[in-house]
Each structure stands twice: as C-alpha cells, then as structure tokens.
Structure 1
Amino acid sequence: PPQVKSGKQRKVMGVLDIYGFEIFQDNGFEQFIINYCNEKLQQIFILMTLKEEQEEYVREGIQWTPVEFFDNSIICNLIENSKGGILAMLDEECLRPGVVNEDTFLTKLNQLFATHKHYESKETQNARHVMDASLPPHCFRIHHYAGKVTYNVRGFIEKNNDLLFRDLSQAMWAARHTLLRSLFPEGDPQKVSLKLPPTAGCQFKSSVATLMKNLYSKNPNYIRCIKPNETKAPMLFTPELVLAQVRYLGLMENVRVRRAGYAFRKGLGHPVGAAGGPLARGLRGSDPPRLPLRGREGVKVLLSELAFPPEELAFGHTKIFIRSPHT
C-alpha cells in the first residue's frame, strides 16, 4: 500500500526477478525446488491473467466467456501436498529411524504415484511396459507445464536435512547484527526449541507460500526477458533456444487465454474523420457526416462498411474488442 511521509503519498514498487525453469543434463535437489517455485509462479500468472481479463470485460460491459486452460495445480499438489506429496515423502524419509537412503525414498514415490500422469520412473514405466532408454535408474521424471524434467535422487536426503548446529545459529544471533539475526532467527535464546529443525524442503515450501500470498495481494505487471542466443551476440537469433524459453516462461498459456476471448482492444476516444474528409468520403456511397464522428459511434459507422462477422467485434464502454489477428 502507498506509504505516507511528511504529508506526501509515496508509491512503493516491488520487483521479483527469477530466471525460470532449469533443465540440465543432470538435475538434482536444487533444480527440483527451483522448478517447484516456477510451477507455483506459473499458477499465479495464469490465474491473475484470467482475473485481469475478466475484470476488463466487466468494466467494459463485454460478455465474459469462460476460458479453458491447463490448470497446473495437479503438478503443484504432486510436489507440495502435505499428506502425500514428494516433499512430504522426502521429509518422512529424512526423519524415519533405521536405514534411510535415496533408494527407499524413490521406492516410496514409485508406489505412491504409480498411476500419476505427471510422474514416472524406470519402475513405473516397466509396470506399464514402456520402453524408454532416456530415463535411467535412481531417477524420477515430472511432467512440468514447461516440459519433462528428469531428477536424480542422489543427494536428495542429505541436501534436505538441515544440519546446521544450534550453537552456530546462537553464535550468529549473538553477533547483534540485524541481517544475521534475520537469517538465523532460531538462534534467539528465548526461542530455543528441542524439536528437530525444519528441513530445507519445508523451509522452501514455507517461503514459496509467503511469496504467493504477497503476489496475490499486488497488482502485477510482467516483463518477459528472452535470450536470443547463448553468446549474447548481436544480430544472431537461435529459434530452438527462443522456443524453449517461450514454453517455460508460460507465454503460450498467456496467449491462449487472451485469444480465447478478444485478443486485441483499442480505445474509442478519438475522432474517426471530419465532415467531407477522406475517411468520410471513403465510406462507399454513404453521405458524408455533418460532424466529426467521435468515439464509439464513429467506429461503428466505419466498421459497418467493412462487413466483418459480428462475432469478431464487441463494443465496450471505452474500447473496441477484436477477436482474431486476421481481423
């Protein structure tokens, strides 16, 4: 919200800078949680784009047509479900007594998600008699909205466990530095807990939830940055690289949402033509208007001569809405 200082209102803008999906030759725990965050961001981008579209139609008095789009909540639930998601299963393995390793973790995932359409591994493929040499053992694959990513489970248990000793956190807190205290709040002697510290996955999930809550309360604008080539050289365009970025940035989904309604809109606030001017004379056989045609009525007169199908156009209070790029 705007902040007031010395009697003047000051607007505050926040910036969230994120690269996007990570798909490497070998993807581990880091790529898994980064791509989980991207799934959540994609979810909020689509929902807020739909919300913005709907609000625009309501403001302009245009009938709203429900838009069909891919809802990636099924992928988010696969990862974050507190009663049976991948992060919950990982935490369970980290805290379970006895022999714990990545093999037991992967076995549990294979049993739990054997029929999930966005999860697969070598074992689930074998059960379905699928021959796929691209999916090695000790890995699972998630069908993200941006594409399929194969994760190697080696290191998941170790990296998910937060092995920072309590006395180190207390030492950081005792430094009396504001930044250090914000980074190590568990070092506060008044908040000492004998519970096991939260896992890295649990902390990341909480951080993502806080970020989502913050974004939902804002009025966002998006800037999509696309790298045209790997070397950042001028006048060099690599179609395959750009196509991959268009997909994992969610641009296709945004375009589909826009085109499901009226893809283009233009303000109606300017004169269309003066009496006897070239525009008025150009209306086939019609009498020149006596006054300049302004706004909505002027645009209606012009477009009535062009014989567009009625479903291609819609007139709002201040804008004209055009359905297809061809029109």
Structure 2
Amino acid sequence: MQAASRATAVSFVQAAAAASLRSADPATLQTLSGQTMGTTWSVRLVNAAFAPLAPVRSAIEAALATVVAQMSHWEPGSDLSRFNRAAPGTRHRLAPEFFTVLQAACAWAQASGGALDPTIGPLVDAWGFGAHGTPHVPDAAQRRAAAALVGFGRLELDAATRSALQPGGVGLNLSGIAKGFAVDHVHRCLQALGFADVLVEVGGELRASGARPGGAPWRVAVADPADGPPRALALADSAIATSGDRWHAFEHADRRYAHTLDPRTGEPVRHGLASVTVLHADCMQADALATVITVLGPHEGMAFAERHGLAALVCERTARGPVWAATAAFRAQVPWA
C-alpha cells in the first residue's frame, strides 16, 4: 500500500503456502517460511534432488535482508533512511536493487500523473502511518508543509551513474512497490540456486514459475467477484499482488480514513475502492500497479488499467453492497471474473 502500514492487506490473494500443504503432496514439494518487513514470507519449491534446505533458507533470508537494508523506511540505518537524511543538493549513488525499484516507481509515477510517488514519505509521517507513528488527522498547516516536500520530479535520477539527487526534504517511501520487488528478488535467488519450480510469497504478494510435482500448475485462491467462495487461479510464470484499505483504515469524527494516501491531494483516498488485484509477469510491477489503481479509484483506475492492458480486478464499496469489476485482460486469464 502507499501508506506505510507494517501490516499487509492480504485481501483477495491468499498465499497460505504452509497452511496449504496437503497429505497427498509428494516429499519433493517442500516449504520454507519466516518473517520479514513486518509480515511473513513463504516459499514452496520442488526439490527433486532433496538438496539441503538450510543453505536455501539462508539464501532467501539474505535476499530479503538486502531489500530491508536498502529500502526500509523502518530501519534508520537503511540506504533509504540515509538518503532521506542527506544534505540538500547532494547526489547519491544507489545500490542496483534500490535504483531499479526507485526508477520503476518514478516511471509509474509519471505514467499515472503522480498517483504513485516514491517521495510520499513526509505525507506518510504527517498522517502517522510511518515508522513509530500513530494514525491521526494532521492539521491543515501540517498537511500543506508535508505536501510541499512531495514530488518525484525533484529526485533527478541519473541512470548512467545510478544515482539520485537529494534536493532537500525529500523523504522516500517505497512501501507501494518494494514488497513486490522482494518477491522477485527471492524468485531470482531460487532460480540461481537451480530451482525452476517455485511459488514465492511475501505478505500476500506472489510469484510462481514452473509447476508442482507431476506438472500441475501452482494455484492461489482469488476472491470470487460474485461474493462466492474463493476460487483457485492457476499462476503460471507470473505474479499477483493486491492493494486496498479493506483492513487498514481508522475512524475520526465519524469519518473513515483509508491508509492509502493520494500524493496528488495529500490526503487518504476518499473513494469507495476497497481492494485491487493485479496480475503481471513481475511482482514489482504488479505491486506498483495495484497501488496506482487503488489511488486512482474505481473509475479512473479501471480506465488506466484498460488503457495499459493490465489484468486487474477491483472491488468497490457502494450503498448497495460490494461491486466488482475486471478488466478485459483479467477476464481473459480468469474466465469467471
């Protein structure tokens, strides 16, 4: 989500890798799990050679630790936190992973008219959604001061030197994209170790490659737009991510405030979009796009998704109950949507 809540809105996509183990699963289908980024991770992999899992776990944890060390706004010693504290006018060479995520965030920020903005950190803190904060409604002066510091165009990225300018006061927050990148990063790590058939999940965002033992596809549960029981979706060499405020919101003065902030207004989104699910080849892109559509809302967001050929499923809260909509690309992959 755009706001920096440690808890993750796992609304429409349920990984439940450990919980989904079945007695009929062969011994070669193995599961590892743990905690990271204030949430959980799990990996299911086909280990036909029964390679020792301890080195695999270490590699996974190292990959996740790299993302935290570079991009966490919760860790004061992370690369991102140091950049946020840097002096005005200084240019900083970034680690390859950090630069990749920041560059992708800026690209979608440009394409969406600022619906996703990696410099949203000051607004996140002003609303109490950041590290050690308590969600609250800031006064108008605080909102204006924070909004004045937001603007992805101020970063001046340089791909040749893999660097970014800190113009002063820029506070990066990559919570709308970094978790998806973490999934991709772990997926690449497992491929480098020789595992071709894997399902990776971090906080409800998933990426799959290959198949289960025997050739059956990896399957994840996706909510039925008709509000029936969740249905199984085959995930073949692709990723899925979700975003929304179904669980993350607070009440103040008889108004519900979502944890998803709109960088363009400086306030939480006010539309009724409860959740967004996006299918994409890369989880980083799916994560970012779910955030973009969530901020844009049910109408502008779906128009954006159709215009870019995205596979997206959204749920809007209305007076007559939840209303579901799916893009043409999503319906092509999920016939019941």
Q: With structure 2 as the length reference, what TM-score do the two structures score?
A: 0.23
Q: With structure 1 as the length reference, what TM-score do the two structures score?
A: 0.24
Greater RCO (CA < 8 Å, at least 6 residues apart): 2
Give the greater-gyration-radius structure (CA).
1
Greater fraction helix: 1
Greater fraction strand: 2
